[in-house]
Amino acid sequence: MIDTPKVDWFALSPTLALLGASGVALMIAVLLPPWMRRGASAATAFLGFAVAAVLAGLVFAETRTPASLIAESMTRDRLAALAQVILAVTGGVVVLVSWAERRRAGHGEYYALLTAAGAGMVFFVGAENLMTLFLGLEWFSLCLYVLVAFDTDRAGSLEASLKYLIVGGFGSAVLLFGSALVYGATGEIGFSQIAGAAAGDDAFLLAGLAMILAGLAFKVSAAPFHMWTPDVYEGAPTSVTAFMSAATKTAAMVVAFRVLVTAFPEESEIWTIAVAVLACVSLAWGNLAALAQRDLKRLLAYSSISHAGFLLIAVAAGSERGLEALLFYLVPYSAMSVGSFAVVAARERELGRAVTLESLAGLGWERPLYGVAMWVFMLGFAGFPLTGGLFGKLFVFSAAYDAGDWWLVLVGVAATMISLAYYLNVVRWLYMRSGAELRLAPAGGSPPYDPALAVAVAASLVVTVGSFFAAQPILDLAADAASSLPF
């Protein structure tokens, strides 16, 4: 008889729900008449993300102790489940942002790729060995390469996709080579088995660790591995940029923390220093470069690089408290990131061109919801009170201080002070200049009616502010998830 591995279908249900939605969206693209495809495929994608979020929540509630799945290639624990909830909710909001996006054709294919990318990320955060880690990474990366180029009538979109493909392929190759070196040094691919192998200070193991860390740094847009981020964020469709900025960072940060703590605990003195250096470089480069930007998507791209630095401070702590801070930070950050790009999308559709700081002139008076939401997102990025960004940064700094990295706290505070210059400048342009004075009238007259986009912005705003007032419940969930790893 063939000894087949036992499959926990309940643990895999969020991934399967998104894969099912992707398949249905593809069928819609083939079977339904063109006038029905956009609404039907968008509704299918939204339902897929909603079902995945509910199923991930049920997995979180029903899981008490971590368990290995499918020949120890996957893990079922609360850390993966909470990350899956964040990813699924993020995907659902991005579907709302995408709903009224101008696209001549390919609606079914777009939502099929979006849900397939979400399925890959949901699969990725549960990886328990180097093989499934690489497979999950390539799964969602291949979908994103195509999504970035989806606006085929724009040269910028095609250029961004080509850059992302080349740099992303190089990053994946570095990670794969590092995995091969780790396997050569230990003879194992499972995270816990790698930790148990007596490799000592083997040069191959340390080189493999460095290359795995570099490969993951490409995905989280950490400097100096960030070179693709500004161009790709600017050239991609804005809804895809919103998804990448929040979901990709969530998945890669959670997996990076899991890999480092689970597979390389004996090398913690080395990788904590390396991650701390990456955090400092990301904070410095992201904030200083953002000061010179006029295009709003490029500004937000450099802001994303700086926030990768804050998240890496939590990873550098390498403790349970650091993981709690990381998970909490990802909640308001995901909401603020998707919400800010949703406002950019609204302005793009109104003006019919790329959004610069000057293009924001008067938006706060003309579109009160979008104006208020944008300044709340900017203040949240900066860590102001009444937004979850305040507690996110406080928890990250607290974890770093407890780990003895007080100097990282000083770097983070200095970076926050620099970021005020460009975040408050966005607010200034929203309210202190009028579009009429600068003759920036909308290209098409009245702005397009887009209730789904307004709902996405409002939902992001609620989470951004709500995570300030509901900080303790979110932190309790993060603590339950953090207990899944062996600290």
The residues pairing with 68 across neighbouring beta strands, listed in sequence order, are: 75
pLDDT of residue 202: 80
Question: Strand pairing partners for 76?
Answer: 67
Instruction: Give the residue carrying structure tokens 């007259």.
Output: 445
Residue 110 is which amino acid? Y
Dist CA 221 CA 292 (whole Å): 19
Q: pLDDT at position 448, please?
A: 65
Torsion of CA 469, 474, 300, 249, to 10 degrees: 180
The SS3 call for residue 127 is strand
- CA–CA gap between residue 138 and residue 399 (Å, rounded): 32
What does the pLDDT read at residue 350? 85
pLDDT at position 445, please? 45
pLDDT at 107: 83
SS3 67: strand
pTM: 0.94
Tens-digit pLDDT string for the chain (487 aa): 566 667 788 999 999 999 999 999 999 988 888 888 888 999 999 999 999 999 999 999 998 888 888 877 889 999 999 999 999 999 999 999 998 887 766 888 999 999 999 999 999 999 999 999 999 999 999 999 999 998 877 777 888 889 999 999 999 999 999 999 999 999 889 898 998 875 566 888 999 999 999 999 999 999 899 889 999 999 999 999 999 999 999 999 999 999 999 999 988 889 999 999 999 999 999 999 999 999 999 999 999 999 999 999 999 999 999 999 999 999 999 999 999 999 999 998 888 888 889 888 888 888 889 999 999 999 999 999 999 999 999 999 999 999 999 999 999 999 999 999 999 999 999 887 655 555 454 444 455 678 899 999 999 999 999 999 999 999 999 999 999 998 7
pLDDT, position 67: 86
Joined tokens for residue 270? 């080395």
Closest listed residue to residue 178, CA positions, set 225, 224, 214: 214
Q: Which residue has the tokens 């180097």?
A: 130
Q: What is the CA radius of gyration of the chain?
A: 21
Distance separating alpha carbons of residues 42 and 103, to the nearest angstrom:
13
Task: Determine the Cα–Cα distance for residues 236 and 148; give it in Å rounded to an integer.
Answer: 5
One DSSP character per residue, 134-200 reads HHHHHHHHHHHHHHHT--TT-HHHHHHHHHHHHHHHHHHHHHHHHHHHHHHHHS--BHHHHHHS--T
Write down the residue that tokens 């000061």 correspond to: 291
